[in-house]
Amino acid sequence: MSRTLYDLIGLFAGVCFILALKGLSHPKTARRGNRIGAVGATIATLVVFFYTNPGSSLPLNNLGWILGAIAVGGVIGVPAARKVQMTQMPQLVALFNGVGGGAAALVAIVEYLHLGTNATTADVIFTVFTVIVGCVSFSGSIITFLKLQELMTTRPVVFPGGRFVIAATLVAVLGVGAWVVSALGTAPLLILAALSLLFGILFVLPVGGADVPIVISLLNAFTGLTVAASGYVLNSVLLIIAGTLVGASGTILTRLMAEAMGRSLFGTLFGAFTAKPQASSGVAEERPVRSGSPDDVAILLNYARRVVIVPGFGLAVAQAQHTVRELADLMISKGIDVAYGIHPVAGRMPGHMNVLLAEANVPYDQLLEMDEVNPTFGQTDVAIVIGANDVVNPAAQNTPGCPIYGMPILEVSNAANVVFLKRSMRPGFAGIENELLYDPKTMLLFGDAKASLTKVVSALKAL
């Protein structure tokens, strides 16, 4: 196959990726968009097997190894993607992003070893960039995975002098990077990779749970840029186009996400340098809360005219999507006006809750976005908060300095009554106490969300 044809097919794949991103931006075309992207990636992969690189011949060298490795990757990736529970999807995306970054770093290292002294300065600079950013993306994504999977604390991890350690590591990374460019050699490059992995870990550790999705999105954009840089070294138009597209769209997406969460991107990114060890505000005083029974909740609902359901991650964990729809249907049959108030980051990521509720066949028109639902809480008799905490926490509006301060919230405190379905008094993902729990108009129903909802449904039926 001629170089021209090869590059033209690469261009075609690049166009597929543009159409994929375009399609993914609209609900109607999203699924088709994803499939167009998959077609583009498949074509791009297949065509490599039919192109002779300079100094090589067909079939490709090491063909058995290449095909075997693809098979292994497929056997790992496909079942993971198929079997993952929808609630755990954000961390899987983080993991996929991390391995992509790792792959880009490895490609850059191999190409560097291969070129040896033939590498131009530009090649080496792009290699250094790819190794640094790819390794940061890899180790950083692993940390976000551990945080989301709750295998480690979701609170910001800040240690004394942490910001100096991080700054020193960054300086070391850049210094070794410059060393590689000037001196060349395998050992400096491997030291660079190790330091970059360390920096990725230190960079993500101080990020609080609520900001993790923003960091995943940012690392995603980073990985895109490493792919573009590899494209330069490997002389591949396709990789440059695809990587740049992801880098650019990922950057915009990161900013949009940060806006939806009311977070400053700068504050999230450089939290590592500004975060102070938090005084543990958890003076565990026993404060009175008003807990109720499922019957109490059912009576409250029976005499309501308007009810807003605020679903959170706890609902998803308890797999209570179907039960909550049953409750909503029952209330609607009693002539109660029912809506769902969806916070942009309900669940773990923007849009995550919509996916989960859509899975339970909740009608799309009952799902109200934050801006639509907030003005209606004043006319709402009961707000039922199911397994959510941070997204309704008034501290975001009235406690400057708390980690979620400034995040837009669902103003459920304006409703006449608030019912919290919770497993325990444990604070939410961001680890902040919620004053609303102690409000006199709040009723708490403790227990597993699904079990509690089932009891409320039968109590309401009996009325």
By CB under 8 A, the residues from 245 to 284 that bind other proteins are 245-253, 256-257, 260
Residue list 79-118, contact with other proteins (CB under 8 A): 80-82, 84, 86, 89-90, 92-93, 96-97, 99-100, 102-104, 106-107, 109-111, 113-114
> How far apart are alpha carbons 387 and 440 in whole angstroms?
20
Q: Which of 76, 152, 171, 463 binds other proteins (CB under 8 A)?
A: 76
> How far apart are alpha carbons 50 and 47 in whole angstroms?
5
Phi, psi of 206 (to 5 degrees): -75, 0
Nearest to 35 by CA among 23, 46, 25, 27: 23
Q: Is position 35 an interface residue for other proteins (rule: CB under 8 A)?
A: yes
Sheet holding 442-446, edge to edge: 367-369, 337-342, 306-311, 382-386, 417-422, 442-446
Taking CA atoms, 80 is separated from 76, 163, 219, 293, in Å, by 6, 36, 21, 40
Structure tokens at 159: 């240690």
Shortest distance in whole angstroms from residue 217 CB to other proteins? 5
> How far apart are alpha carbons 60 and 284 in whole angstroms?
66
Binding part of the chain for other proteins, among 10-18, 197-205, 275-283, 326-334 by CB under 8 A, reads 10-18
Q: Is position 228 an interface residue for other proteins (rule: CB under 8 A)?
A: yes
Residue among 134 and 294 whose Cβ is closer to other proteins: 134
Q: Is position 240 an interface residue for other proteins (rule: CB under 8 A)?
A: yes
Shortest distance in whole angstroms from residue 132 CB to other proteins? 16
Residue list 115-134, contact with other proteins (CB under 8 A): 122
Residue 18's identity, in one-letter code, is I
Residue corresponding to tokens 């800040």: 158
Longest dimension (CA), the chain: 83
Binding part of the chain for other proteins, among 65-73, 160-168, 169-177, 427-435 by CB under 8 A, reads 65-73
Residue 294's identity, in one-letter code, is P
Q: Is position 72 an interface residue for other proteins (rule: CB under 8 A)?
A: yes
Residue 348 zone, left/alpha/beta (φ > 0; ψ -120 to 50; rest): alpha
* Interface size with other proteins, residues (CB under 8 A): 112
Beta-carbon neighbour count of residue 183 at 10 Å? 9
Residue among 20 and 456 whose Cβ is closer to other proteins: 20
Say which of 123, 390, 439, 448 is annotated catalytic. Answer: 390
Shortest distance in whole angstroms from residue 137 CB to other proteins? 10
Residue among 18 and 317 whose Cβ is closer to other proteins: 18
Active site annotation includes 390? yes
Question: DSSP 3-state assignment of 15?
Answer: helix
Q: Is position 38 an interface residue for other proteins (rule: CB under 8 A)?
A: yes
Q: List, as one string, the DSSP characters of 170-227.
A: HHHHHHHHHHHHHH--HHHHHHHHHHHHHHHHHHHTTS-GGGHHHHHHHHHHHHHHHH
Q: Is position 41 an interface residue for other proteins (rule: CB under 8 A)?
A: yes
Residue among 99 and 158 whose Cβ is closer to other proteins: 99
Binding part of the chain for other proteins, among 40-48, 166-174, 288-296, 414-422 by CB under 8 A, reads 40-48
Residue among 216 and 412 whose Cβ is closer to other proteins: 216
Residue among 56 and 302 whose Cβ is closer to other proteins: 56
Question: DSSP 3-state assignment of 443?
Answer: strand
Shortest distance in whole angstroms from residue 78 CB to other proteins? 6
Residue list 151-210, contact with other proteins (CB under 8 A): none
Residue list 334-363, contact with other proteins (CB under 8 A): 344, 349-352, 354-356, 358-359
Q: Which residues form the catalytic set?
A: 390
